[in-house]
């Protein structure tokens, strides 16, 4: 398999002094779902934002190390260029434009691509095929949809960018277990059907074990454990790591 993303010993700081990520190295293969596990404040979200370069809007920067996408360094690029190359982040909290309809939110996701009318219609139809609930709610203001539907909308809007790699930040947070399972099944389906790659920051170890191929455990800004998810579980290493983090 070909590595689509590689982080090489990155260190991230905020406000030129606050060390948020000390030493993170990881890789994501083409068509693979990878979990980034850890407690609150471990550095998961910061790592994702370092990849998407959204840390620049929070006065953060990658101080050392490097980030490679498809073999090329993407450090110091602006977030819109990162999206154009095929990386899109779905932020924690199911961000959407609540006053806009579901379909208007999806159309906003295609803005950077500037697709033709035909291409835009095809992209919308594909998202509605993956998320039938969104098709039913296409004319509904996003603020009046459920938490699960808003998470689907956030992922659907990411798909409108025609990504190669999706960064998901805590997709299960605040959702009922049944809805969470539905969303992770969709993630697995997208990975299989579209050969999309996913890097998912997640606290729910059960979901990670069930749906991801590789896992990295991060603690206090450092990767302390990594490997095949099932092998890590069978060896008990993930459980011990989580007990150590008091999760």
Question: What is the pLDDT averaged over residues 178-191?
Answer: 93
Task: Using the structure block, give the residue that is written with the tokens 């800004």.
Answer: 221
Name the CATH architecture for the domain at 1-85+164-242. 3-Layer(aba) Sandwich (3.40)
Query: How many beta carbons lie within 10 A of that of residue 144, not counting itself?
Result: 12
pTM for the predicted model, two decimal places: 0.93
DSSP letters along 149-182, please?
A: HHHHHHHHHHHTT--SEEEEE-TTTT--HHHHHH
Question: Nearest CA to 52 among 7, 20, 15?
Answer: 7
pLDDT at 244: 54
Enumerate the domain spans of the chain. 1-85+164-242, 95-161
Question: Nearest CA to 97 among 157, 56, 169?
Answer: 157
| 129/135 Cα distance (integer angstroms) | 8
Question: What is the pLDDT averaged over residues 42-70?
Answer: 96
| 4/191 Cα distance (integer angstroms) | 14
| 90/95 Cα distance (integer angstroms) | 8
Query: Is residue 242 very low, low, confident or very high in pLDDT (cuts 50, 70, 90)?
Result: low
Question: What is the pLDDT averaged over residues 116-124?
Answer: 92
């Amino acid at each position: 398999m070909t590595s689509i993303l590689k982080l090489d010993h990155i260190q991230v700081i905020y406000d030129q002094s606050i060390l948020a990520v000390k030493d993170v190295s990881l890789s994501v293969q083409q068509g693979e779902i990878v979990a980034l596990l850890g407690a609150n404040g471990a550095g998961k979200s910061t790592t994702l934002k370092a990849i998407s370069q959204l840390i620049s809007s929070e006065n953060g920067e990658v101080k050392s190390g490097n980030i490679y996408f498809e073999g090329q360094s993407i450090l110091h690029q602006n977030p819109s260029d990162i999206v154009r190359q095929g990386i899109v982040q779905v932020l924690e909290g199911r961000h959407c434009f609540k006053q806009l309809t579901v379909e208007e939110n999806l159309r906003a996701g295609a803005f950077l691509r500037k697709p033709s009318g035909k291409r835009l219609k095809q992209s919308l139809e594909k998202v509605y095929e993956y998320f039938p609930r969104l098709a039913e709610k296409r004319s509904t203001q996003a603020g009046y949809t459920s938490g699960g539907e808003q998470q689907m909308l956030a992922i659907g809007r990411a798909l409108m960018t025609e990504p190669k790699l999706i960064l998901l930040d805590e997709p299960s947070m605040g959702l009922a277990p049944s809805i969470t399972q539905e969303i992770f099944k969709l993630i697995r389906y997208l990975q299989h059907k579209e050969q999309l790659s996913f890097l998912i920051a997640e606290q729910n170890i059960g979901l990670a074990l069930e749906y991801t191929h590789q896992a990295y455990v991060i603690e206090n800004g450092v990767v302390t454990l990594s490997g095949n998810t099932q092998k890590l579980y069978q060896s008990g290493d993930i459980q011990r790591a989580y007990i150590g983090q008091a999760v």
